[in-house]
Amino acid sequence: MQIAIVGLTGSGKTTVFNTLTRGHAETGGYGGVTMNVGVVKVPDERLDRLAEIFKPKKIVHADVTYVDLPAPPPSTEGHVGTEELPAEHLARLRDSDALLHVVRAFDDPSHPHAEGSVDPARDLERLDLEFILADLSMADRRIERLSTSGRHGTQAERESNEREERILRRLKEALEAGSPIRDVELEPEDEKQIRGFRFLSQKPVLVLLNVGENDLPAAPALVSNIAGSYRHDKALIDALSARIEMELGELEPDEAAVFMEELGIAESGLDRVIGLSYRLLGLVSFLTAGPDEVRAWPIVDGSSAVDAAGVIHTDLARGFIRAETVAYEDLLELGSMAEAKKAGRLRSEGKTYRVRDGDVIEILFSK
């Protein structure tokens, strides 16, 4: 799972990246051009509790890859800024499963905003527009192609092309009206047909308002203000102070706890961001536990037991017999697999069982 950190120049992308990854990439580049890539473990206390029961050799968290990308150059007549990003950056952006859009909401006289004022709603729309223009340009090129050479080929090919063109024309209409593709309702078949384009405005987005260190108490009001006018599908809005989070990340855990109490912060904003990213992607975790490892596995909510088996290994899906399943809470309450079984809480589930968040699963399979 990969999330692209995007935003206008100087919005705090690299600061957010550093705090998420506990990294030290250079910030304050003023239009930096480097890309940073880092892997972050998804915090999950359940793994620690399970480790107390199973005493495994290792604990493996689910992880998310974050990519910190430079801001795209602004589009001008005849130029789509995003398409002018280096190919490697653009590929990373397109390959990402979701966007983390960092928007500047902090005021800092020593770093004046290029536009002369801090206006998160304006900046949010500005970058959205860049991605809408990039998608529009791609859709236009493909429609042009389909309406010429797409008329040839076998009947099946022609029908497929016509269908694709119909979908793209719908998307084009929405994009021209300023709507991101995530707002367009698509049948699963249509969605499948356009998946290959990896449209940017189709990706789920977490908008992160980067507020000043003194503005944290006002952050919830800012979030609801922005949320009120930002009515899009597959979009979440949250706020944090990247500066504070970065400082918190550099402290020992007990010092950080004291600092958080002083600031009146209940939880680390970053844990929340990681959790929200997970939710945004529609992911839940199932767990496996044994003497070797205790592990969390990300899976799309709604997946079946056989899908879960396949996440672990394709052999497990192929030879699937059943999934011995116990809810994490039950296991914790009863203290062991054996006790869970005695109490009738260990269930034998078949292929089509819908896996729930926190299910502790053992897959039985034939080789």
Where does this chain bind Mg ion (CB under 5 A)? 13-14, 32
Q: How far is the CB of 106 from ligand GTP (least distance, A)?
A: 4
- Amino acid identity of residue 321, one-letter, is I
Coil, helix or strand at residue 155: helix
State the nearest-atom distance from the C-beta of 104 to ligand GTP, in Å.
8
Look up residue 19 and give its two tokens. 């705090």
Stretch that binds ligand GTP, among 222-230, 235-243, 282-290, 327-335 (CB under 6 A): 235-243
CB of 245 to ligand GTP, least distance (A): 8
Out of 82, 161, 241, 304, name the contact with ligand GTP by CB under 6 A.
241
Per-residue CA distances from 89 to 72, 95, 293 (Å): 10, 10, 35
Told to check if 212 binds ligand GTP by CB under 6 A, we report yes
Helix H segments across the chain? Answer: 13-21, 45-54, 87-95, 120-146, 155-176, 188-194, 219-229, 242-249, 253-263, 269-280, 305-312, 314-318, 328-334, 337-342
- The verdict on 202 binding ligand GTP (CB under 6 A) reads no
Q: What are the backbone angles phi and psi of residue 63, rounded to the nearest 5°?
A: -130, 160
Tokens of 354: 């819908």
Amino acid identity of residue 333, one-letter, is E
Binding-site partner at residue 294 among Mg ion, ligand GTP, none, CB < 5 to 8 Å by type = none
Of 4-12, 255-263, 268-276, 279-287, the segment contacting ligand GTP by CB under 6 A is 4-12
**Residue 86 binds to ligand GTP (criterion: CB under 6 A):** no
Residue 286 contact partner, candidates ligand GTP, Mg ion, none, CB within 5 to 8 A by sort of partner = none
Residue 12 engages ligand GTP in binding (rule: CB under 6 A): yes
Q: How far is the CB of 259 from ligand GTP (least distance, A)?
A: 15
| Separation of alpha carbons 323 and 305, rounded Å | 7
Is 111 among the residues that bind ligand GTP (CB under 6 A)? yes
Contact between 150 and ligand GTP (CB under 6 A)? no
Residue type at 23? G
Q: Which residues bind ligand GTP (CB under 6 A)?
A: 7, 9-15, 27-32, 70-71, 106, 108, 111, 210, 212-213, 241-243
